[in-house]
C-alpha cells in the first residue's frame, strides 16, 4: 500500500511537470509565430497582435475591436512617437474597442534616412489595410498620435491622397517645418535634420520642408474635426506649431479643439498626477468617439 501511494505521488508529479512544460512550449511557440500571449478575448473586446500589413518585419500592427460587430463601424489608427512602439497605445487601443470602435496600433520603419521616405509610406499602407477591413466603415476613420505620431496623423488628415482620414488628434506633434520657432526653440531640430531629412537643411531645399509640412496642405477638403493636446511645459515642440496649424485650419473654415495641461518632466513634459492623466485620456477618447459618431 505504501509503495502504491508513492507511485501515485510520483505519477501525479510527473503529470503536473509535463503539463507545465507543455504550457511553456505552447506559449513560446505562440510568441515565435508573432502572436503575443495577450491575444484573444478580453470581456467584450477582441485583441489580435502583430498582424502584418506589409512584408517587412516592422510592418506589424495590433488590432483591437468589439467582440460583437454588426455592420461596418468606425475605426482609429494609432501612431507612436519617434523611437516608440505600438505597445505605447495598448491601453487606448483597448479602450477604443470598448467604445465600439475598431482600433489599430501601428509599428513602422524609421530608418534609413531620410526617415520620411519610410515613415509616411508605412503608415499609409497601415491605413489602407485598416480601411479594407470588412467590418470597418472606410469613410469614418480617425488618426491619433503623439510627437512624430501626431505629425503623421496631421499628414493623414491633410495630404491629397485617397485615404485621407475624417478626424485627427495631434498630441504635441509638429505641423510646420518652415516655422522659425521650431528651429530656434526645439532641441530636436538637429535630429530632424539628420534623420528625417538625411542632413538636408531648410536652406538647402525649402520646398522639401514645405511639402512635408501638414500646414502646407490645409484645404477645406481636409479632416473636419481636429484635437490638439500638449503640455504647457513641452520642451521639444513649441506652442507656435499648434497655433499656426489651428490658424491655417480656421482660415478654410475648419475649427479645432485645444487641450493644454500642466505636465512636468523632460521632453514633452507629459508627467501628470493620476487624476489629471485620466482626464487627458478621457478628452482624447471622447473626441474620437464623438467625431466618428457624426
pLDDT digits (tens, 9 = 90+) for 20-73: 333 332 333 333 333 343 678 778 999 999 999 999 999 999 999 999 999 999
Regarding whether 115 and 254 lie in a shared domain, the answer is: yes
Residues 57 and 21 in one domain: no
- Same domain membership, residue 158 and residue 25: no
The count of domains in the chain is: 2
Q: Return the H-helix or E-strand segment holding 283.
A: helix 274-293
Q: Are residues 8 and 106 in the same domain?
A: no
52 shares a domain with 8: no
Query: Do 198 and 246 share a domain, yes or no?
Result: yes
Which pLDDT score, from 0 to 100, does residue 26 have? 33
Q: Is the model's pLDDT at 288 over the cut of 80?
A: yes
Reported as a single tens digit per residue, the pLDDT across 162-188 is 779 999 999 999 999 999 877 676 677
Q: Which residues pair with 41 in a beta bridge?
A: 46
155 C-beta neighbours (distance < 10 Å), count: 26
Q: What is the CATH number of the domain that holds 276?
A: 3.40.50.1820
Q: Are residues 20 and 97 in the same domain?
A: no
- 222 and 287 in a common domain: yes
Closest to 257 in 3D by CA, of 293, 213, 287:
287
Looking at the fold, whether 239 and 274 belong to one and the same domain comes out as yes
Residue 37 is classified by DSSP as T
User: What is the predicted pLDDT for the residue at 192?
Assistant: 84
What is the mean pLDDT of the segment spanning 276-280?
A: 97
* Cα–Cα distances in angstroms (integers) from residue 223 to residues 4, 147, 249, 257, 278, in the given order: 75, 19, 10, 13, 26
Asked whether residue 117 falls in the same domain as residue 25, the answer is: no
Domain of 82, in residue numbers = 36-293
Whether 22 and 118 map to the same domain: the answer is: no
Verify that 69 and 209 share a domain, yes or no: yes
Decide: pTM greater than 0.75: yes
Amino acid at each position: 500500500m505504501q509503495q502504491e501511494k508513492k507511485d501515485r505521488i510520483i505519477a501525479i508529479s510527473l503529470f503536473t511537470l509535463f503539463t507545465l512544460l507543455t504550457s511553456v512550449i505552447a506559449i513560446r511557440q505562440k510568441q515565435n509565430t508573432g502572436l503575443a500571449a495577450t491575444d484573444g478575448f478580453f470581456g467584450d473586446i477582441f485583441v489580435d497582435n502583430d498582424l502584418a500589413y506589409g512584408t517587412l518585419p516592422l510592418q506589424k500592427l495590433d488590432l483591437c475591436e468589439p467582440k460583437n460587430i454588426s455592420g461596418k463601424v468606425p475605426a482609429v489608427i494609432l501612431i507612436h512617437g519617434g523611437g516608440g512602439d505600438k505597445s505605447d497605445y495598448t491601453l487606448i487601443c483597448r479602450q477604443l474597442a470598448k467604445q465600439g470602435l475598431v482600433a489599430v496600433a501601428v509599428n513602422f520603419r524609421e530608418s534609413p534616412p531620410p526617415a520620411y521616405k519610410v515613415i509616411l509610406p508605412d503608415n499609409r499602407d497601415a491605413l489602407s489595410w485598416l480601411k479594407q477591413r470588412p467590418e470597418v466603415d472606410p469613410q469614418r476613420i480617425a488618426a491619433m498620435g503623439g510627437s512624430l505620431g501626431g505629425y503623421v496623423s496631421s499628414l493623414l488628415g491633410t495630404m491629397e491622397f485617397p485615404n485621407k482620414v475624417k478626424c485627427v488628434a495631434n498630441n504635441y506633434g509638429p505641423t510646420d517645418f518652415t516655422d522659425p520657432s521650431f528651429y530656434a526653440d526645439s532641441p530636436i531640430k538637429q535630429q530632424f535634420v539628420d534623420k528625417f531629412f538625411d542632413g538636408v537643411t531648410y536652406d538647402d531645399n525649402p520646398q522639401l520642408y514645405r511639402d512635408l509640412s501638414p500646414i502646407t496642405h490645409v484645404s477645406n477638403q481636409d479632416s473636419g474635426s481636429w484635437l490638439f493636446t500638449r503640455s504647457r511645459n513641452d520642451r521639444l515642440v513649441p506652442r507656435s506649431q499648434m497655433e499656426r496649424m489651428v490658424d491655417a485650419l480656421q482660415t478654410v473654415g475648419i475649427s479645432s479643439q485645444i487641450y493644454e495641461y500642466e505636465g512636468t518632466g523632460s521632453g514633452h513634459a507629459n508627467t501628470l498626477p493620476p487624476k489629471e492623466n485620466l482626464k487627458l485620456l478621457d478628452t482624447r477618447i471622447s473626441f474620437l468617439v464623438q467625431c466618428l459618431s457624426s
